[in-house]
A and B are shown apart, each in its own frame.
Chain A
Amino acid sequence: MNAVLEFFTKSLAIAEMELRKLLRDPMELLSRAVQPVLWLAIFGQVFSRVRGIPIGNVSYLSFMTPGILAQSVLFTAIFYGIAVIWERDLGIIHKLLASPTPRGALVFGKAIAAGFRGLVQAVIIYLIALAMHISLRTDPIAVIGVLAAVVLGSAVFSTFSLIIACIVKTRERFMGIGQVLTMPLFFASNAIYPLSLMPDWLKVVANVNPLTYLVDALRMLMIDGGQGAHSLLMNFTVLGVVFIVFVFIAAKLYPTLVG
């Protein structure tokens, strides 16, 4: 079997089983709809009364909707690595690593499944946004672009999560680090306020934060009149390159789960 074909076939085999598990028990994923509702309905409603946030010609609610979708993608993906710690404690990882499966395919397969989890979040946020009469772009190209960005963003952060899991190896430490990372990643991004409001040091952090590029792409693609700081090409390129680098790192670290 051709090596590239083998890589993708086996990645899909991993992803398929992850999806079967997800569809069998979707509660965990669906429960993640609660948080974005609170952000949009409460935080968003209050902050839309604040004038003077320089967000261009859109309403604050419109401005933050892509940010909340990105947040939802981040929060859903960043704890995904706990699954491999669970699999390690059970012994499933041992079985997978002793099989002739490229390590990268084990990681990539999980990223595909995480992408699907992200898509579910996107549907949820679209529904909430429609219910709140936020004006969305509905042309097919924009919607497909949003879904692509969500899949890529989920892949980036879930693979980041796998890297953390490979390093910390226990559930307790993982949950601790996950909690510590999510809020800084969220606040050091353009999700709920524009980069132009940030002090210079925070701008630097925000510019190396992949979430910023996800939000930027979503803002251009998701809402009417949404404007980004970078081009779509740049946003997708940054996310794509980060993803590939993360897959390499995670594939290198994966075997250390069996120690």
Chain B
Amino acid sequence: MAAVTVQHGAHELAIETSHLTRRFGDFTAIDQLNLSVPYGGIFGLLGPNGAGKSTLIKMLTTLMKPSEGSARVAGFDIVQAPGEVRKRIGYVPQLLSADGALTGVENLMLSAKLYGIPGAEQKQRVDEALHYMGLSDSARQLVKRYSGGMIRRLELAQAMIHRPAILFLDEPTIGLDPVACQSVWDRLKALNKEHGMTILMTSHFMDEVDELCDTVAILHQGRLAASDTPEQLKDAVGDEATMTDVFAYFSGGNLDREGSYRDVGQTRMTAKRLG
């Protein structure tokens, strides 16, 4: 895709939260969170199930309103100007967001139209996105016949067709085999390096974090337990520490800590559909 220009808002940070809080009844999922994400990097959001990652992503993508505090995304307030935020972000939910009953082209055309890309440009943008994600040959197949890796790449294509400033990815490689993972990682790196898209992603997969992220934040019980480069975090934890050690150290638990029944169910369902 030639010369993608990413328009930044007047604000210099991609994401900035201030005392951001979200409660569900008595449970506080995100607790007075202050987070700053500069433009240009790949930012990893880690934490055990139930640490508040999905809640945070839902708030930042304007799907959920905070109970308290505020956040600016791409220069706009998520509560005051959600429409402006939506124009400037792309989002790939952890669940399956491509429509299996439509073809790849149809899924992308829908995104192009909903993101207000002018009619004359739509076809070209769709073709470019398909080509970029290596899906040109299967563009006219129904998505339910796609492999897991192809579905994820199509979802990325949908999320980037309007050239957003910031991409939000919730567990982008969950349920994918190593080859499919690599194909998704390559595209993410290219989107970041060649096209300057800022990426915020959650992950459970420490290899993925090592491979992709320049900065990592670890959430624990809705609060920021640590935020730094992976190297700095590893050094802080100890000699020869791995990301897994870092994760365990800051989240006060291990990777296998179970989330709610619904979380686990959805994760498994997604993994099954993509696998």
B83 at the interface (CB under 8 A from A): yes
B94 at the interface (CB under 8 A from A): yes
Asked if residues B91 and A21 are in contact (CB atoms below 8 Å), the reply is: no
* A1-55 residues at the B interface, CB under 8 angstroms: 1, 6, 9-10, 13-14, 17, 20-21, 24-25
Residues of A within 8 A of B (CB): 1, 6, 9-10, 13-14, 17, 20-21, 24-25, 87, 89-92, 94-101, 255, 258-259
B21 at the interface (CB under 8 A from A): no
With a 10 A CB-CB cut-off, give which of B61, B95, B98, B102 has the most chain A CB atoms: B95
Residues of B within 8 A of A (CB): 58, 61-64, 83, 86-87, 89, 91-102, 106, 109-111, 113-116, 155, 158-159, 168, 269-270
Report the Cα distance A6→B113, complex, angstroms. 10
Known contacts being A13-B110, A21-B102, is A100 close to B95, with CB within 8 Å?
A: no
Question: Which of these, A6, A9, A92, A97, contacts B99 with CB under 8 Å?
Answer: A92
Report the Cα distance A6→B115, complex, angstroms. 10
Question: Which of these, A10, A90, A96, A100, contacts B87 with CB under 8 Å?
Answer: A100
Asked if residues A90 and B96 are in contact (CB atoms below 8 Å), the reply is: yes
Known contacts being A10-B113, A20-B106, is A99 close to B95, with CB within 8 Å?
A: no
Asked if residues A100 and B63 are in contact (CB atoms below 8 Å), the reply is: no
CB contacts (< 8 Å) of B114 on chain A: these are: 10, 13-14, 96, 99-101
The chain B residue sitting closest to A91, CB to CB, is B95
Known contacts being A21-B101, A100-B83, is A1 close to B95, with CB within 8 Å?
A: no
CB contacts (< 8 Å) of B86 on chain A: these are: 98-100
* A to B CB contacts below 8 Å, 12 in the list: A13-B110, A25-B101, A90-B95, A90-B96, A91-B95, A94-B91, A94-B93, A96-B114, A98-B91, A98-B168, A100-B86, A101-B114
Q: How close is B79's CB to chain A, nearest CB, in angstroms?
A: 13
Known contacts being A95-B93, A98-B89, A99-B111, is A17 close to B61, with CB within 8 Å?
A: no
Q: Is the interface of A mostly helix, strand, loop or mixed?
A: helix
Asked if residues A1 and B58 are in contact (CB atoms below 8 Å), the reply is: no
With a 10 A CB-CB cut-off, give which of B96, B100, B110 has the most chain A CB atoms: B110
Q: How close is B148's CB to chain A, nearest CB, in angstroms?
A: 14
Q: How close is B166's CB to chain A, nearest CB, in angstroms?
A: 12
Question: Which of these, B92, B102, B159, contacts A20 with CB under 8 Å?
Answer: B102
Known contacts being A21-B101, A24-B101, is A6 close to B96, with CB within 8 Å?
A: no
CB contacts (< 8 Å) of B155 on chain A: these are: 95
Report the Cα distance A258→B62, complex, angstroms. 11
Asked if residues A100 and B115 are in contact (CB atoms below 8 Å), the reply is: yes
Report the Cα distance A20→B106, complex, angstroms. 9
Asked if residues A9 and B93 are in contact (CB atoms below 8 Å), the reply is: no
CB contacts (< 8 Å) of B168 on chain A: these are: 98
CB contacts (< 8 Å) of B269 on chain A: these are: 89
CB contacts (< 8 Å) of A255 on chain B: these are: 63
Known contacts being A13-B110, A17-B106, A95-B158, is A258 close to B63, with CB within 8 Å?
A: yes
The chain A residue sitting closest to B111, CB to CB, is A99
CB contacts (< 8 Å) of B115 on chain A: these are: 99-100
Q: How close is B167's CB to chain A, nearest CB, in angstroms?
A: 11
Asked if residues A94 and B110 are in contact (CB atoms below 8 Å), the reply is: no
Asked if residues A98 and B62 are in contact (CB atoms below 8 Å), the reply is: yes
CB contacts (< 8 Å) of A89 on chain B: these are: 95, 269
